[in-house]
């Protein structure tokens, strides 16, 4: 390819609306352009890179025996109604009606469609196991798209689905995916961290996210500095030593706390209590069959609520209650809430509060608190659970070493779905005994766009992107210094042809610009190697520049193709 004839619209300035490094660089290097919120066009260089990532994913999926499909992204509502997700999913699904007034949606994932294929096409255990996959456009009406392609409303995902006759088979498929994912991310130059994760509304028993540590990430992960424990903070727990309360068997005592609304205020209030001796009472509304009902969540005063932990504990979707709902439930406004004596509202308490005595909490009477509260004696706890967010440095539950909290990008997520879809949609096979058994399913996703962005997050400097060879749009750029110097352009053309003949992906920068401007572009786009026929030609030398090492070397013109072959195959 000749640079002058390729559409590579590089920009000198960062786009004003980009924040994440990968977002800025993808726009500046001419990889993408924005069309709308969370909607991006891939330009030729960007699309080459995405296709490289797809090819790697495809190879590793094929290597575990997965078969590639291509399913529609346009779905009739019926199939989503069968699984129950038409109603379970909220505004995140793009929905509309066709000309016949039939309800439709754009696919946000493909469990339902693959399950239909499995239901119709798989009838015997002898046909199992199966792993099916596709690389396809997905649509999610994200409440808040951000960071370029990291959270888009249209994106490309590799999604795969496994079908087995039993749980042991699912475990095999799940492990195969975990191994394949590790390889995929390794090949893309991304250091991936598998973490325990929450399955969310996808359903199923177990899930593992693959995370790439990055300040541009939206998730926090907790990772043990010593052992292999790692979890999304939504799921992470720690082995924090219990707080030792002084014995206190005094009766509970209500006392006035005028104007005191926060834990912090009560710490400094005379007659108040230290934050770790307070009980924080949060009211959430639970979405159930008969509408929304309040639940109370109790955590130690200095802890933060882990909302996903709370959802897991309650077993239903939650949202923070509005003030009117709180007053209706407890008779007081936020700031004076407590669970003492509450009987008709379910109370979920963090395990760290178990057995605590001498605690202080709200009295459910505006501007009043109660002290000498004993968890066991005074509060009817429906369920003890992990409700608090772990904090940096807390001891690992496995080995006691400190946990490290880091921001990360979710680049893959694998789920053990079990019977979630096969039962609701009636997908079964006949087992060895001639009996129908529901298919045991798994589902597995990798965000192609996120691979590209995460690779940039991991490999860039102030000049631009530093592609690993596996994703580089071109391996080599040949760029003469003076386009009106016949010796240089002759050497350039010959090198261009010779590298192409070797099957090396090369771009010839034939633009009649000054070298500095061209070099800046090469480095912004991140092409791993540059060959420059210049003043050294008189001595038979060209310059070979290594973008990632940021090193230049003079190499004999006659040897440079061999040298590049060597470096590219290393």
User: Does the footprint of RNA cover residue 38 (CB under 7 A)?
Assistant: yes
User: Does the footprint of RNA cover residue 114 (CB under 7 A)?
Assistant: no
Contact 360, 266 (CB under 8 A): yes
Question: Residues binding RNA: what is the number (CB under 7 A)?
Answer: 64
User: Does the footprint of RNA cover residue 481 (CB under 7 A)?
Assistant: yes
What track of x and - describes contact with RNA for positions 145 through 174 (by CB under 7 A)? xxx---------------------------
Q: How far apart are CA 50 and CA 451, in angstroms?
A: 8
User: What is the 8-class DSSP label of residue 98?
Assistant: -
User: Does the footprint of RNA cover residue 141 (CB under 7 A)?
Assistant: no
Give which of 9, 55, 29 is closest to 527, Cα–Cα: 29
CA distances from 320 to 311, 351, 362 (A): 12, 21, 18
CA distances from 545 to 314, 424, 525 (A): 58, 59, 14
**Quick one: which of 14, 54, 82, 423 contacts RNA (CB under 7 A)?**
14
Pairing of strands 318-320, 529-532: unpaired
Q: How far apart are CA 562 and CA 185, in angstroms?
A: 29
Q: Which is nearer to RNA, 17 or 253 (CB)?
A: 17
What is the enclosing helix (H) or strand (E) of 430? strand 428-430
**Quick one: which of 159, 303, 378, 543 contacts RNA (CB under 7 A)?**
543
What track of x and - describes contact with RNA for positions 314 through 333 (by CB under 7 A)? ---x-xx-------------
The distance from CA 217 to its chain's CA centroid, rounded to whole angstroms, is 8
Provide the minimum distance between the beta carbon of 231 and RNA in the complex, in angstroms, as a whole number.
15
Q: How far apart are CA 407 and CA 198, in angstroms?
A: 17
Neighbours of 554 (CB within 10 A): 14
User: Does the footprint of RNA cover residue 108 (CB under 7 A)?
Assistant: yes
Q: Which is nearer to RNA, 301 or 447 (CB)?
A: 447
Provide the minimum distance between the beta carbon of 505 and RNA in the complex, in angstroms, as a whole number.
21
User: Does the footprint of RNA cover residue 484 (CB under 7 A)?
Assistant: yes
Which range of residues in 344-352, 369-377, 433-441, 509-517 is near RNA by CB under 7 A? Answer: 509-517
> Which residues, at least 6 apart from 185, have a Cβ–Cβ distance to it below 8 Å?
191, 192, 210, 212, 411, 412, 451
Pairing of strands 253-256, 440-447: unpaired
**Quick one: which of 303, 312, 386, 521 contacts RNA (CB under 7 A)?**
521
Instruction: Write b or e for each residue in 169-178: b if 16 or more Cβ atoms lie within 10 A of its Cβ, otherwise e.
Output: bbebbbebbe
**Quick one: which of 76, 84, 395, 536 contacts RNA (CB under 7 A)?**
536
**Quick one: which of 75, 352, 388, 413 contacts RNA (CB under 7 A)?**
413
Give which of 369, 241, 346 is closest to 284, Cα–Cα: 346
Question: Between residue 343 and residue 382, which ones bind RNA under the rule CB under 7 A?
Answer: none
Q: Which is nearer to RNA, 60 or 521 (CB)?
A: 521
Which range of residues in 4-12, 65-73, 252-260, 293-301 is near RNA by CB under 7 A? Answer: 4-12
Torsion angles phi and psi, residue 367, rounded to 5? 65, 30
Which range of residues in 58-66, 140-148, 340-348, 367-375 is near RNA by CB under 7 A? Answer: 140-148
**Quick one: which of 2, 11, 123, 383 contacts RNA (CB under 7 A)?**
11
**Quick one: which of 95, 515, 548, 557 contacts RNA (CB under 7 A)?**
515
> Which residues, at least 6 apart from 565, have a Cβ–Cβ distance to it below 8 Å?
502, 504
User: Does the footprint of RNA cover residue 535 (CB under 7 A)?
Assistant: yes
User: Does the footprint of RNA cover residue 523 (CB under 7 A)?
Assistant: yes
Q: Which is nearer to RNA, 317 or 498 (CB)?
A: 317
CA distances from 234 to 199, 215, 230, 403, 536 (A): 10, 18, 11, 14, 59
**Quick one: which of 483, 498, 504, 557 contacts RNA (CB under 7 A)?**
483
Q: How far apart are CA 365 and CA 167, in angstroms?
A: 52
User: Does the footprint of RNA cover residue 140 (CB under 7 A)?
Assistant: yes
**Quick one: which of 431, 513, 546, 559 contacts RNA (CB under 7 A)?**
513
What track of x and - describes contact with RNA for positions 82 through 101 (by CB under 7 A)? ---x---xx-xx--------
User: Does the footprint of RNA cover residue 529 (CB under 7 A)?
Assistant: no
Q: How far apart are CA 182 and CA 265, in angstroms?
A: 48
User: Does the footprint of RNA cover residue 524 (CB under 7 A)?
Assistant: yes
**Quick one: which of 51, 58, 463, 567 contacts RNA (CB under 7 A)?**
463
Q: How far apart are CA 195 and CA 350, in angstroms?
A: 22
Q: Which is nearer to RNA, 371 or 522 (CB)?
A: 522
Question: Nearest 5°: CA angle at 345, between 340 and 350?
Answer: 65
What is the enclosing helix (H) or strand (E) of 525? helix 515-525
Q: Which is nearer to RNA, 32 or 131 (CB)?
A: 32
Provide the minimum distance between the beta carbon of 483 and RNA in the complex, in angstroms, as a whole number.
5
What is the enclosing helix (H) or strand (E) of 94? none
In the numeric block, which tokens belong to residue 486?
Answer: 């016949």
User: Does the footprint of RNA cover residue 516 (CB under 7 A)?
Assistant: yes
The strand pairing partners of 42, in sequence order, are 32
**Quick one: which of 322, 328, 514, 566 contacts RNA (CB under 7 A)?**
514
Binding site for RNA (CB under 7 A): 9-17, 19-20, 34, 36-39, 85, 89-90, 92-93, 108-109, 140, 142-147, 200-202, 218, 307, 317, 319-320, 413, 445, 463, 481-484, 512-517, 519-521, 523-524, 532-536, 543, 545, 552
């Amino acid at each position: 390819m000749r640079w002058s004839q390729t559409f590579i619209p590089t920009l000198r300035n960062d786009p004003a609306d980009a924040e994440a490094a990968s977002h800025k660089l993808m726009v500046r290097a001419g990889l993408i352009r924005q069309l709308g919120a969370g909607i991006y066009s891939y330009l030729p260089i960007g699309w080459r890179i995405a296709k490289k990532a797809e090819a790697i994913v495809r190879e590793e999926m094929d290597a575990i025996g997965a078969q590639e499909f291509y399913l529609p992204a346009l779905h009739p509502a019926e199939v989503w109604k069968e699984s129950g997700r038409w109603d379970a999913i909220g505004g995140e699904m793009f929905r509309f009606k066709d000309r016949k007034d039939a309800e439709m949606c754009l696919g946000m994932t493909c469990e339902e469609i693959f399950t239909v294929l499995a239901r119709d096409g798989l009838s015997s255990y002898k046909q199992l196991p199966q792993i099916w996959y596709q690389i396809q456009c997905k649509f999610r009406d994200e409440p808040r798209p951000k960071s370029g392609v990291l959270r888009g409303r249209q994106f490309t995902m590799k999604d795969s689905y496994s079908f087995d006759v039993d749980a042991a088979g699912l475990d095999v498929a799940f492990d195969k995916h975990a191994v394949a994912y590790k390889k995929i991310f390794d090949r893309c130059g991304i250091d991936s961290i598998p973490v325990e994760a929450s399955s969310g509304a996808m359903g199923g028993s177990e899930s593992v996210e693959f995370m790439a540590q990055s300040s541009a990430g939206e998730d926090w992960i907790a990772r043990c500095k010593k052992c292999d424990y790692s979890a999304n903070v939504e799921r992470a727990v720690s082995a924090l030593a219990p707080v030792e309360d002084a014995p206190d068997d005094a009766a509970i005592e209500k006392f006035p706390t005028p104007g005191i609304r926060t834990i912090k205020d009560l710490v400094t209030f005379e007659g108040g209590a230290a934050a770790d001796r307070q009980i924080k009472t949060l009211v959430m509304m639970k979405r159930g069959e008969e509408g929304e009902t309040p639940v109370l969540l109790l955590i130690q005063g200095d802890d933060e609520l882990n909302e996903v932990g709370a959802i897991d504990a309650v077993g239903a979707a939650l949202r923070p209650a509005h003030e009117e709902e709180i007053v209706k439930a407890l008779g007081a406004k936020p700031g004076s809430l407590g669970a003492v004596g509450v009987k008709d509202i379910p109370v979920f308490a963090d395990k760290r509060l178990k057995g605590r005595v001498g605690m202080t909490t709200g009295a459910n009477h505006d501007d009043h608190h109660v002290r000498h509260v004993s968890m066991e004696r005074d509060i009817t706890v429906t369920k003890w659970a992990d409700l608090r967010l772990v904090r940096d440095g807390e001891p690992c539950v496995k080995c006691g070493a400190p946990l490290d909290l880091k921001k990360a990008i979710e680049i893959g997520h694998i789920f053990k779905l079990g019977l979630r879809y096969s039962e609701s949609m009636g997908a079964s096979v006949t087992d060895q005994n001639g009996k129908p058994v529901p298919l045991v399913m798994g589902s597995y996703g990798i965000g192609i766009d996120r691979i590209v962005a995460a690779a940039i997050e991991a490999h860039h400097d102030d000049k631009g992107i530093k592609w690993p060879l596996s994703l580089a749009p071109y391996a080599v750029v040949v760029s003469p210094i003076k386009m009106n110097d016949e010796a240089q352009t002759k050497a350039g053309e010959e090198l261009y042809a010779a590298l192409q003949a070797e099957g090396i992906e090369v771009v010839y920068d034939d633009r009649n610009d000054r070298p500095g401007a061209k070099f800046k572009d090469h480095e912004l786009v991140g092409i791993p190697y540059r060959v420059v026929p210049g003043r050294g030609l008189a001595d038979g030398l060209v310059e070979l520049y290594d973008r990632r090492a940021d090193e230049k070397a003079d190499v004999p013109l006659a040897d440079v193709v061999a040298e590049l072959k060597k470096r590219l195959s290393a």
